């Protein structure tokens, strides 16, 4: 699943460390999410979308395999 986390985070001028702290996860998790190596749980996806003031669909791009 692709996402726009990195682009949105950079647009808002937030560092990975700050974002990780706000989400209650490690910086490595944010890095993995941004690189698409790890797909978040629905709870984390909701938390991320809420943090950016967006919907899950606006942040995450669901592609059928």
Partner 1 sequence: MKKKDIVFGVIWLLLGLVLTVLCCLETLDEFWSGMGSALMVVGIVRLLRSYRLSRSETYREQREVAETDERLHFIRNKAWAWAGYLFIIICALSTIVFKLLNQDLLCMASGGAVCLMLVLFWVSFFILKKKY
Contact 45, 56 (CB under 8 A): yes
Give least dist CB 28 to partner 1, A.
7
Which residue matches tokens 């698409």? 36
Binding mask 36-65 for partner 1 (x = CB under 8 A): --x-xx-xx---------------------
Provide the β-strand partners of residue 3. Answer: 60
- Cα 13 from Cα 17, distance rounded (Å): 12
Binding segment for partner 1 among 8-16, 17-25, 54-62 (CB under 8 A)?
Answer: 17-25
Query: Which residues form the interface with partner 1 (CB under 8 A)?
Result: 20, 24-26, 28-29, 32, 38, 40-41, 43-44
């Amino acid at each position: 699943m692709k996402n726009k986390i990195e682009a949105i985070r950079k647009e808002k001028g937030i560092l990975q460390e700050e974002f990780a702290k706000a989400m209650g996860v490690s910086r490595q998790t944010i890095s993995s999410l941004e690189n698409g190596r790890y797909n978040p749980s629905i709870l984390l996806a909701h938390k991320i979308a809420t943090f950016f003031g967006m919907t899950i669909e606006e942040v995450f791009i669901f592609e059928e395999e």
